[in-house]
Amino acid sequence: MKKILVLNGPNLNMTGIRKKSVYGGETLKQINDELKLYGKAHGAKVSFFQSNHEGDIIDVIHESRDEFDGVVINAGAYTHYSYAIRDAIEAVQEFTPFVEVHMSDIHKREDFRKISVITDVCVKQICGYGKDSYKMGIDLLMEIL
């Protein structure tokens, strides 16, 4: 069974509370519970980490090299400007593939959200499919692992 980490960045703990029209009404826990079952049905043990703190996210990215076969990352707002997270992914990408996901279509939102500094160090960017973006990320990792 492949080990996949779903890594969520800042404010994603507010999913289901904040901007329901953009992110939907399910909480992050509800989404994670569904993803855990989805992963199991597709041969993956899915684990989860969420933080509002950049350094904690970087530490988990570094640790992913030894603990996970692949990572689905929704870096939240850090997507648009965190070169530190980008560099952390780049440091481990040859050992652990990353798929960037977003529930909303970042290319159809505010101008600053259209920029991703992590896309080029990830296998692919998947956005605009709500919680299914995560499932598509898991599927892609299972294909390439």
Q: What's the token pair of residue 83?
A: 């070169």
**What is the longest distance spanned by two Cα atoms in the chain?**
40
Nearest-10 Cα torsion for 123, 127, 133, 136: -40
Q: Say which of 42, 80, 102, 134 is annotated catalytic.
A: 102
Based on the residue annotation, tell me whether 53 is a catalytic residue of this protein: no
Q: What's the token pair of residue 34?
A: 């569904």
Q: Compute CA distances 117 → 8, 40, 66, 88, 143, whole Å.
A: 16, 31, 24, 12, 25
Q: Say which of 23, 38, 53, 83 is annotated catalytic.
A: 23
Based on the residue annotation, tell me whether 23 is a catalytic residue of this protein: yes
> Which residues are designated catalytic?
23, 102
